[in-house]
Structure 1
């Protein structure tokens, strides 16, 4: 069914790097999710009311909350599809993340509310009426939720949407919760032991857990997650086609949501290759624009090739760092031409317990090199290493 909808409603379905195609996939997923969840909600609440099962009713309200989540996501996708302007030059893609927060909180409240209803069913149990319609609705629900899991997982990968990925995880959780409800109904019927309320509590726990997981995923995206490995590898393959580029530093993908990101990096080379370096970075930027529809900012650093000076400066830097810890190491050290000055740039990898002293250490190093010569401008990027390690100098 979903394959048919893709052919009918998504143009250029294979151009998954295009933000408009990502939007179409996300919209289709949300609309189908709303319809399927409303169908399941209606069926379960009806069966739950007729069979006096609080667990089935709770599962039905869970589907209602899922439909609400899909609706909020759809609204977020619609707003996220607006392009950039003078106020928001990088577009509105992050609106989807904000909507995801509200949706996750709604799921959390639904789980807590249903837990209260389930506890009441434990203290005031009612006999569950078991019939074929109950079994059919629950089995159908499990199958539908497994189907929704697969297409949301697929669409989540295509769009890189945290909302759709969280929806996929929620669907598989829902299918498990519904399985618990089905087992509860069967056990209650054959043993005459009413475990409906206990299963309702278990379902509410699944709902609450899904809400927490969804919220954590969205918050992780807002805080800034690592760039997609495939895209980074693709960029590095483009760079390797230009031998005049000696190294790449500070490669970052600035994610603005909904498939739009900005690439920034520093490439290092020799000044004698300046003309070719200029041509190369423009070619790389254009290729990235064509493939990913992204903006790209590349800075060229002209390296100063002086092994004796490099060795001397690293020894002086290490002499400063040893005062703080033997575990602080230098990585990606380079000397960069800067007119009458020389930029001394490197990554300082240090253990987590020195995080509060990072600024102090950097200043100490800068003062030491500045005392040697005012032409040295120190650029240090601190990197926390949280496990024990051994790097070779």
Structure 2
């Protein structure tokens, strides 16, 4: 009987040790963020007036009070730069106070009052969505040259997309060229680390 009890106690000690070791390693190496944590960060930031959208969210979770996140926040390019900077500072400070998350934000100005930019952006979004519904774009801008116009943007790939990067790039470039030979797509493929980008509905 003593032998059996010894085996049971030993097994329990081993199980407890492995569990503690796993938790310790997770806190040291970092753990994958939960969907709840991602949603909390996204919802919190989108609640601020002046935030038009967010993308490129990366979260490093090392346990309570040791969670770090970085992302891009889109704001109106016509907004006062000091006000936009103050907005970012407020979000970073409030996130730390309210949720204990250390946040680093990159500010992305978005042009909203140029009809040509809006038309090309909407067209590009439509093309990308037709190639694969899980794809999306961000950081869209246009640089006009004498011979052609560069449409510069990032394409966000999620795990749901089964196409490879070259196929996506080639198809986008081809479809944009079919519309106007002077349009040239400069594409950066961006991998999602946590989720698809979140956009506010701009009325």
Q: TM-score range by the shorter chain?
A: 0.5 to 0.7
| Alpha carbons of structure 1 residues 223 and 234: separation in structure 2 relative to 1, 3 Å | closer
Cα displacement (A) at 1:292: 6.8
Cα distance in 1 for partners of 2:24, 2:124 equals 44
Identify the structure with the greater helix proportion. 1
CA distance in 1 between counterparts of 2:151 and 2:73 reads 17
**How many angstroms apart in 1 are the aligned matches of 2:155 and 2:63?**
31
State the secondary structure of the residue aligned to 1:213. helix
Matched residues in 2 for 1:384 and 1:288: separation? 18
- Corresponding residue for residue 362 of structure 1: 165
- The answer to whether the 8 A contact 1:351-1:384 is kept is no
Q: Which one of 334, 342, 364 corresponds to residue 138 of structure 2?
A: 334
Residue matched to 2:66: 260
Kindly state the Cα deviation for residue 267 of structure 1 after the two structures are TM-superposed: 0.7
Does the 8 Å CA contact 2:157/2:191 hold for their aligned counterparts?
yes
Q: Given the two structures, how large is their TM-score scaled by the length of structure 1? A: 0.36
Post-superposition CA distance 1:295-324 (Å, at most 9, x none) = 542112233555643453244335555xxx
Aligned partners of 1:260, 1:311: CA distance in 2, in Å? 39
Give TM-score scaled by structure 2 length.
0.63
Counterpart residue number, 1:282: 89
2:88 aligned with 1:272? no
Whether the 8 Å contact between 2:38 and 2:194 is mirrored in structure 1 is no
RCO higher in 1 or 2 (8 Å CA, sep ≥ 6)? Answer: 2
In structure 1, what is the equivalent of residue 200 of structure 2?
none
> Does residue 349 of the first structure (1) align with residue 155 of the second (2)?
no
Query: How far apart, in 2, do the equivalents of 1:234 and 1:384 lie?
Result: 11
Counterparts of 1:1-393 in structure 2, within 5 Å, are: 195-221=1-27, 222=29, 224-226=31-33, 229=36, 233=40, 236-237=43-44, 239-240=46-47, 242-255=48-61, 259-275=65-81, 276-288=83-95, 296-305=103-112, 308-318=119-129, 320-321=131-132, 329-331=134-136, 333-337=137-141, 342-351=151-160, 354=162, 361-370=164-173, 372=177, 373-382=183-192
Gapped regions of structure 2 (runs ≥ 5)? 145-149, 178-182, 196-203
Counting matched residue pairs gives 177
Cα distance in structure 2, aligned partners of 1:245 and 1:254: 23
For 1:375 and 1:262, the matched residues in 2 are separated by 34
Deviations 1:67-122, CA, capped at 9 Å, x for gaps: xxxxxxxxxxxxxxxxxxxxxxxxxxxxxxxxxxxxxxxxxxxxxxxxxxxxxxxx
Q: Distance in 1 between matches of 2:37 and 2:124?
A: 36
Please list every run of 5 or more consecutive structure 1 residues that lacks an aligned counterpart in the other structure. 1-194, 322-327, 386-393
The secondary structure found in structure 2 opposite 1:277 is helix
Higher strand share: 2
Structure with the greater alpha carbon radius of gyration: 1
* Aligned-residue CA RMSD (Å): 3.9
